[in-house]
A and B are shown apart, each in its own frame.
Chain A
Amino acid sequence: SQTIHQWPATLVQPVGSPLSLECTVEGTSNPNLYWYRQAAGRGLQLLFYSVGIGQISSEVPQNLSASRPQDRQFILSSKKLLLSDSGFYLCAWSERGHTQYFGPGTRLTVL
């Protein structure tokens, strides 16, 4: 069966510091991968999606970036965090045209 992992689970970072969040999927090949952010009291916002290694599409302009160095690895990064980057970051995977399944998430607080 397929599983999805995210780490870290919780992170507190100062403004201006870098960020790296990692997501890995097991038990499937060539999945679609997604990064979402959920701010307090708001809906899920799609940040990036990827249909294959090295293929990244960005949904909203921001100071975040994403990379997919391996088939089942998806990384979310920032060079300098802003206060507004605080939120719950969720990675999700799907097979082509099928249901998206979410990882456990990373709660990021920027102080």
Chain B
Amino acid sequence: GQNIDQPTEMTATEGAIVQINCTYQTSGFNGLFWYQQHAGEAPTFLSYNVLDGLEEKGRFSSFLSRSKGYSYLLLKELQMKDSASYLCAVREGSTLGRLYFGRGTQLTVWP
């Protein structure tokens, strides 16, 4: 199985930068995903890391260190619409590729 830990809540102001951390313990690893979920809606895919390092996609970046079992999602130039829950998910190493999700970090962006 997998044990995935991320903070429950975070707050930040518009225009700021916020880093959401995720740590995991896994018996098999085949990638780490970040999803964004607005209240009452389905999760939407943000980013994927399978090798160590930083992946940048516009205002969002995601970092992975496999040796430390650690990832973070970095959000720059925060906007009010970034207020949402951010889910960290680890994919196991089988062909099925099932995902194990953390409980999510609720980010609130203030004006």
Whether B101 contacts A44 by the Cβ 8 Å rule is: yes
Whether A102 contacts B104 by the Cβ 8 Å rule is: no
B103 interface residue, CB < 8 Å from A?
A: yes
From B12-20, B42-50, B55-63, the one touching the partner chain is B42-50
* B68-102 Cβ-contact flags toward A at 8 Å (1 or 0): 00000000000000000001010000011111011
B96 contacts across to A, CB distance below 8 A: 32, 49, 51
15 new A-B contacts, CB < 8 A, other than A97-B30, A99-B45, are A34-B98, A43-B87, A43-B103, A44-B89, A46-B99, A49-B96, A96-B95, A97-B95, A97-B97, A99-B33, A100-B33, A100-B99, A102-B43, A103-B42, A105-B42
Tell me the B residues contacting A by CB distance below 8 Å.
30, 33, 35, 40-45, 48, 87, 89, 95-99, 101-104
Tell me the A residues contacting B by CB distance below 8 Å.
32, 34, 42-44, 46, 49, 51, 90, 94, 96-105, 107
